[in-house]
Amino acid sequence: MEILKLLEDMTRIDAPSGCESGIRDYIARYAEKYCGEVYADGMGNLIARRRGNGKKIMFAAHMDEIGVIITGADEKGFLYFAPLGGLNVKNLINLRVRFLNGAEGVIAADEEKLGDKPKTDKMFIDVGAKNREEAEKIAKIGDCAAFVGDFYTRGDTVISKALDNRAGCAALMAAMSEIKNDTNDLIFVFTAQEEVGLRGAKTAAFALEPDIAISVDTTDTGDVPGMAKSDVKLGGGAAIKVMDRSVICDASVRDRLIQTAQKNNVPHTLEIMTDGGTDAGAIHLTRAGIKTGGISVPTRYIHSVSETASISDIENCARLIKLAAETEW
């Protein structure tokens, strides 16, 4: 499986929520090699379908990342912004952002005005402009930017911005390339705008109405000091979701994933995420309800520019996705 190459390529494509066209085009070119139908829907989701004979199974991995959107500029040339997704606001000062035109800026603030509970409306982006007119040539109201973070590997570890959720996308793409049979009717959905409210997953699930859905995303680990107790850890394999704040997974889907992992010796742990949610939260509530489960990549420092994951964990997630896709449900 070509996990590392996929990860490096995709983390270098900036795609904050609502601005997913670059990453969507990349995934579409890949998916066309393995799926008979590849198209984008009105929400901006990418849908790749590989028709088969059994249950209609939807695998969903969101392709957007956290970022910012410009709300205005002042006379001195500083840009103001709002968050796209859940930002760790207290850690934003001095981080760099990159706009889709390639221009970069630095987040800053008058720190005396921030107080104990900093908010983004007290911050600004310095793009080196001398005045409003110059700043608006670099980025205007409504332009999006992603955070800047280098891609780095050492041994089995990968560090980068946007592993949430390019790691999930890479696992889904690698699995797609390895599936050997047409036991099921497979729909791979790379969703838009997950970070701002699971929006793409909601519309895709409504339109496709799958029999079973499996969300593929990242999840927090419990293997660093000060984290909530959890068996999920780097190098522990695929994390099979039990629940998060948005979903309690269907027991039959969860158990089938566990049995499949056990039968095929896929390293795995069970995931209960007490803070945050995934596309599963929107999917399982669609129409009359959809049986939904989840497979997650253990990841440290989620929603930072230094998200950290294990390459072997991503590979094991891909293995489990492949096996689930080939299983008669």
Q: What is the mean pLDDT of residues 217-229?
A: 88
Average pLDDT (196-202) is 97
> In this predicted structure, what is the pLDDT of residue 17?
97
| Active-site amino acid positions | 194
> Could you give the C-alpha distances from 69 to 25, 48, 72, 74, 172, in angstroms and in order?
22, 29, 9, 15, 28
* Residue type at 155 in one-letter notation: G
pLDDT of residue 166: 98
| Segment 101-110 mean pLDDT | 94
Domain residues for 177? 3-65+161-326
| Banded model confidence at residue 271, pLDDT cuts 50, 70, 90 | very high
The enclosing domain of 135 has a CATH number of 2.40.30.40
Lowest mean pLDDT among 63-77, 80-94, 137-151, 219-233: 219-233
Spell out the long-range contacts of 31-35 with Cβ–Cβ below 8 A and sequence spacing 24 or more.
Answer: 31/173, 31/176, 31/188, 33/177, 34/176, 34/177, 34/179, 35/176, 35/186, 35/188
User: Is it the case that residue 66 has pLDDT exceeding 70?
Assistant: yes
pLDDT 10s digits, 108-151: 998 777 777 788 888 999 999 999 999 999 999 999 999 999 99
pLDDT for the residue 146: 98
Asked if 59 and 82 sit in the same domain, the reply is no
What pLDDT, on a 0 to 100 scale, did the predictor assign at position 228? 73
Q: Are 320 and 173 in contact (CB under 8 A)?
A: no
Domain match, 91 and 42 both: no
Percent of the chain exceeding pLDDT 90 equals 89
The pLDDT assigned to 1 comes to 55
Average pLDDT, the chain: 95
- Asked whether residue 102 falls in the same domain as residue 16, the answer is no
Name the β-bridge partners of 217.
Answer: 296
Report whether pLDDT(274) > 90.
no
pLDDT value at position 25? 98
Residue 175 inside a domain? The answer is: yes
The pair of structure tokens assigned to 93 is: 């000062």
Q: What is the CATH number of the domain that holds 288?
A: 3.40.630.10
* 153 domain residue, yes or no: no
Contacts of the segment 284-288: beta carbons below 8 A, 24+ positions apart: 284/213, 284/247, 284/249, 284/250, 286/202, 286/205, 286/206, 286/209, 287/205, 287/206, 287/209
Q: Are residues 182 and 300 in the same domain?
A: yes
pLDDT at residue 116, rounded to an integer: 73
Binned at pLDDT 50, 70 and 90, residue 229 comes out as confident
Give the tens place of pLDDT for each residue, 150-194. Answer: 999 999 999 999 999 999 999 999 999 999 999 999 999 999 999
Query: Of 125, 147, 169, which residue sits at a domain end?
Result: 147
CA distance 183 to 317: 20
User: For residues 188 and 48, what is the distance between their CA atoms, to the nearest angstrom?
Assistant: 5
Q: Are residues 59 and 180 in the same domain?
A: yes
